[in-house]
Structure 1
Amino acid sequence: MEVMPDELPWRDSYKLLIGSIVPRPIAFVSTVDSKGVNNLAAFSFFNGVCPKPFIVSFAPMRRGSDAGKKDTLRNIEETHEFVVNVVNEALVSPMSQTNPEFPPDVDEFQVAGLTPIASHVVKPPRVLESPIQMECELVQVVHLGEEIGAGSLVLGRVVKMHIAESVYEDGKIDPAKLQAVGRMAGDVYARTTDRFAFKRSTSTDRR
């Protein structure tokens, strides 16, 4: 079967995208608007970019209702700051409570019953219940269209990390203790408890 994504309706193309790129890490992004109202939303188009400078990225899509910018993106463009909170198994249920498109004056921390805690460098609060929180300053936003189905790539520099001692050991994150989750298609999530080791090939292996 061969498919030309540009020839499909955006929803059909979206289904192929989220069904093919799996599992996807989840960025639970907290922001604050110019009036001081907190916002909290999850995005599964999330990844790391480089360690020096420490850059992370996530990509909010345009709203499916009217192609408008989501509150998270608008807040970041206004304040140039955000926090990425890592989602583990314990956070899946409250995170899901933030999925609806609430009006800008709604604080999703209250909707989800989660605890905002002050950041040290940026203004947006962190999610206390998250085992890893990354305070970020905006580097760049790349807009990729304005129609429904389009999105924007947000690049942020992590200026401070907060890591729970329970998941940190010898300079590394213990994946078994972190219990991070990934997003599949639809309402399906993936655990990171089923892992296997395989030595990566090097140039010496070909000699």
Structure 2
Amino acid sequence: RHTLANILETGVYTINHITAEIYKQAHQTSAKYPRHISEFDATGLSPEYKAGFKAPFVKESIIQLGVELKERIDLAINGTIMIIGEITKLFIPSDCLSDDGYLDIEKAGTISCTGLDSYHTSQRLERLNYARP
């Protein structure tokens, strides 16, 4: 709940892919904890600090992205704030990344969330060639 304040204060944040093993704990991080309560402590996930980066990654996450804040945009249309960042750190198991740069999220076990509370596994249908006219 204090993610925006932390991003604005430090200028960095992390994005961590979730898997079937940790999705319930990851979901629990959306609870409205008081500022003095660490989401890591409350959910049992482990913070992982990496050299040269201020924000913690989720140790249990297979794919981890370190992001630097580039722009904050206040959206008057609905009273929300859009954060734009640049990925500066990327941690991916080598067996999940192909020589052509393809990231195999199915192999990584990444799951997705739709809405606020529905979680789904990933299953690749097919890799197609680059579309051309």
Q: TM-score when scaled to structure 1?
A: 0.56
**Which residue is 1:173 aligned to?**
103
Task: Classify the secondary structure of the residue corresponding to 1:93.
Answer: helix
1:81 and 1:136 in contact (8 A); partners too: yes
Q: Distance in 1 between matches of 2:67 and 2:131?
A: 34
| Structure 2 gap ranges (5+) | none
1:98: how far off? Answer: 1.2
Task: State the alpha-carbon separation in 2 of the partners of residues 97 and 186 from structure 1.
Answer: 11
Please, which of 62, 82, 104 is the counterpart of residue 35 of structure 2? Answer: 104
Deviation at 1:187, TM superposition (A): 2.9
Unaligned runs of 5+ in 1: 1-69
**Superposed displacement of residue 185, structure 1:** 3.3
Report if aligned partners of 2:72, 2:84 keep a CA contact under 8 Å in 1: yes
Give the counterpart letter for 1:152 in structure 2.
Answer: I
Alignment partner of 2:18 out of 78, 87, 94: 87
Which stretches of structure 1, 4 residues or more, deviate above 3 A after TM superposition? 196-201
- In structure 2, what residue type is equivalent to 1:159? T
Richer in strand (by share): 1
Tell me the distance in 2 between the aligned counterparts of 1:201 and 1:161: 27
Match of 1:190 in 2: 120
CA contact (8 A) 1:84 1:134 kept: yes
Whichever residue aligns with residue 78 of structure 1, its letter is E
- 2:53 paired residue among 122, 126, 133: 122
Aligned counterpart, 1:139 = 70
Offset of residue 128 of structure 1: 0.8
Looking at structure 1, the residues matched to 131 and 67 of structure 2 have their Cα atoms a distance apart, in angstroms, of 34
Equivalent residues in 2 for 1:56-67 (5 A)?
Answer: none
Q: 1:194 to 1:172 in 2, by over 3 A?
A: closer
Q: 1:168 to 1:201 in 2, by over 3 A?
A: closer
How does 1:157-168 map onto structure 2 within 5 Å? 157-168=86-97
Q: Tell me the amino acid that sits aligned with residue 105 of structure 2.
A: P
